[in-house]
Chains A and B, each alone.
Chain A
Amino acid sequence: MENKITSKQMLADLLDSHYRSALEAKAAGKIVAWATSICPQELLETLDIDVVYPENHAAAIGARKHASEFIEQAEGTGYSSDICSYARVNLGYADIRHSEAGDIPMPDLIFCCSNICNTVIKWYENLAKTLKIPLILFDMPFNHTFEIPEHSVAYMRGQIDHAICKLEEITKKRFDYDKFGEVMELSNQTCEWWKKATDLAKAEPSPLNGFDMFNYMAIIVCMRGKKEGREVFRLWHDELKEKADLGIGPWKDREEKYRVMWDGIACWPHLSVTYKTLKKYGINMVTSTYPESWNILYEKNDRNGMAAAYSANYANRNLDYGTGNVIKLVRDFRLDGIIYHSNRSCKLMDFRQYEVQRRIEAATGVPSVIFDGDQTDPRVFSEAQYETRIQALLEMMENNKAERQEQCKNSKRA
């Protein structure tokens, strides 16, 4: 009998080969780029440039509990401990150049898009400067209005065209616009399957355990413009669909009792305890703001549409948009609660968190808690504090459920 490969195996294999082929490309003298997670990778893919994503690499180092070495290195060279820990891990790695958690080739090109935050600008500039390699920067000012202003789109469009010229110069290759169209189409399809798969968590119980989503995220970051990326999400979607149709929940050994959203990045060094604490109470994280972050959709060959899609990235949009989106998640996913990760690293996400929390509470009445942590710096987390906050959330959700059941009983009686 033929053994069908699961999406989980495929995910592991793909990540392996992603990093391996980048190392091989480097060894063969090919150009390797380091890029930010939500950048117009379509341009690099069109030119066959191997790309690694320092954010993903830093997350992997964090999850395998190797971050401290690199953080200390970066802080030792003078980077403040207040800077994003992905930046500190990567800047430390650029010095040390080896990790037990896996290696990446050093870059020949830096490709940075500030639609995720401002930190990346200085981080990537410093890399380019110390390594004496070219930097292509997409400067994407924050969109303070609800709609994406025309000038923002035009500005990004100009930068895309400029980047194409620069890339032709650097690679000494002609940019193939037909291939570009194909990559655009493929990248859109990957995003669509990512969204379709993660949307299946709307089923009750959810077939998806959201901590798995954190793992699959590596592929949407690293392989958005590749066929294999699309295929992984299609397969994952089909597996989840089958589970949903059969009414199978997220865990074999436990029932889904409560459904929550996780706001912010995972706490990679403490992934297991943050997960197990939820699972032990039957709390399933069914969604986060991530599915929306890679919902980068536009028509094939439409460079203005592409520019708009990148400037409209979730993290680059205003408070009304952000809260509107979370309110929609609360309703669509029928959430019982929200967990906000007050992530010491990510100022962009934290800065508005209290206000987002206040507005969501007012609009939906869904209880929430905030806990302190960091995406990769293991020092900024307390297990006991996390446990207390999660248990308090549980108690609020239990009360709400009991009240709902009581109301139900009463209305039946009446």
Chain B
Amino acid sequence: MYLGIDIGSSSSKVAILNARKELAATDVVNMGTGTAGPKAALENALRAAGAAREDIKYIVATGYGRINFGEADQQITEISCHAKGVSHLMKDVETVIDIGGQDAKVIKIGKDGKVKNFVMNEKCAAGTGRFLEVMARVLGCRIEELSDLAERSVHDIPISSVCTVFAESEVISRLASGAAREDVAKGAHNAIAKRIMGMCSRVGYEPLLAMTGGVALNRNMVKLMGIELGQPVIAAPYPQAVGAIGAAVFAYEKSERAAERAAEA
């Protein structure tokens, strides 16, 4: 079996593939690098796959915490792993929009799931999951409720700030002047969609587009992204674990290649 682990700043994700390159298990733990998260996700996934540590032939680590994960055979960036993961799950996708807790990236996929080109958010948390977390807090709801809240919106209220800190005060003053929570929630979603749209244009996006990362669990965000782009956008299956799945695919390929090379020798 082959294992991919994606260690982010606030969560750890693990995926395991069996010998036929099929997904045997995934697990997501909401604790990131420097915590017990990676180990917990690893153990959960092994249990779900009915496997023991010795059954794992190869491990690829990715994500922000990849460097500190001693058990990996190799480290590969989350950019390559997302491209790989998406192309494993959805063959026809050419552009990936990944919005995680701390960063957002748009990746153009080439042949065999290789990265053709990518852009990542620079400098700040604008257009990331953190932005939505802050908005949910100001609107007094849980992050999971934000999507439904926005869907009930009847008026468009633009949130013009892209900076998370500015947007927070902008939202507070909107609410104070009587704006509906639903409309503000939708405005926040649109602000992200617009920001990501800029990144998509920079990378030169092509259909089909898929969304990954925690924010892809937000149905309304996926829908608004599609409206903004004027293209259908689909949420990837297991959106949070796509990086880990890509890492597991790499683990499979690396280990196969090593075996081939050994056979040749």
Residues of A near any B CB (own CB < 8 A): 342, 344, 354, 358, 361, 367, 370, 372, 384, 387-389, 391-392, 395-396, 399
Contacts and interface: CB of A to CB of B under 8 A. Distances in A.
A344 B122 CA distance: 11
B117 A395 contact: no
The 8 closest A-B pairs by CB, nearest first: A392-B79, A392-B77, A391-B77, A395-B80, A399-B114, A372-B122, A372-B123, A388-B77
10 contacts: A358-B202, A361-B117, A370-B119, A372-B123, A384-B64, A388-B64, A391-B76, A392-B77, A392-B80, A395-B77
Interface in B102-129: 110, 114-120, 122-123
B104 to A, nearest CB: 13
A388 B75 CA distance: 11
B122 A370 contact: yes
A309 to B, nearest CB: 35
B243 to A, nearest CB: 12
A344 B123 CA distance: 9
Contacts of A391: 75-77
B64 A395 contact: no
Nearest to B123: A372
Chain A interface helix/strand/loop/mixed: helix
Contact of A388 (B78, B110, B115, B122): B78
Contacts of A395: 76-77, 79-80, 115
Contacts of B204: 358
B228 to A, nearest CB: 19
A388 B105 CA distance: 12
A342 B121 CA distance: 12
B117 A367 contact: yes
A17 B80 CA distance: 50
B115 A392 contact: yes
B98 to A, nearest CB: 13
Nearest to A402: B114
A60 B196 CA distance: 38
- Interface size on B, as a range, is 20 to 34
Nearest to B79: A392
Contacts of A361: 117
Chain B interface helix/strand/loop/mixed: mixed
A392 B118 contact: yes
Contacts of A367: 117
B67 interface: yes
Contacts of B114: 396, 399
Contact of B115 (A358, A370, A384, A399): A399
Nearest to A361: B117
Contacts of B117: 361, 367
Contacts of A370: 119, 122
Nearest to B9: A384
Which of A354, A361, A399 gathers most chain B CB within 10 Å? A399
Which of A358, A370, A384, A396 gathers most chain B CB within 10 Å? A396
Given A358-B204, A361-B117, 14 more contacts: A342-B122, A384-B67, A388-B64, A388-B77, A388-B78, A388-B79, A391-B75, A392-B79, A392-B80, A392-B118, A395-B76, A395-B77, A395-B79, A396-B115
Given A384-B64, A395-B79, A395-B80, A389 B115 contact: no
A363 B75 CA distance: 31
Contacts of B118: 392
Interface string B70-101: 00000111111000000000000000000000
Contacts of A344: 123
Contacts of B119: 370
Contacts of B116: 396
A396 B80 CA distance: 8
A389 B77 CA distance: 8
Nearest to B119: A370
A361 B203 CA distance: 10
Nearest to B102: A385
B47 to A, nearest CB: 30
B202 A389 contact: no
Nearest to B114: A399
A158 to B, nearest CB: 42
Nearest to B110: A399
B62 to A, nearest CB: 10
A127 to B, nearest CB: 30
A387 B79 contact: no
Interface string B187-203: 00000000000000010
Contacts of A372: 122-123
Interface in B210-252: none
A294 to B, nearest CB: 29
A367 B80 CA distance: 13
A384 B66 CA distance: 10
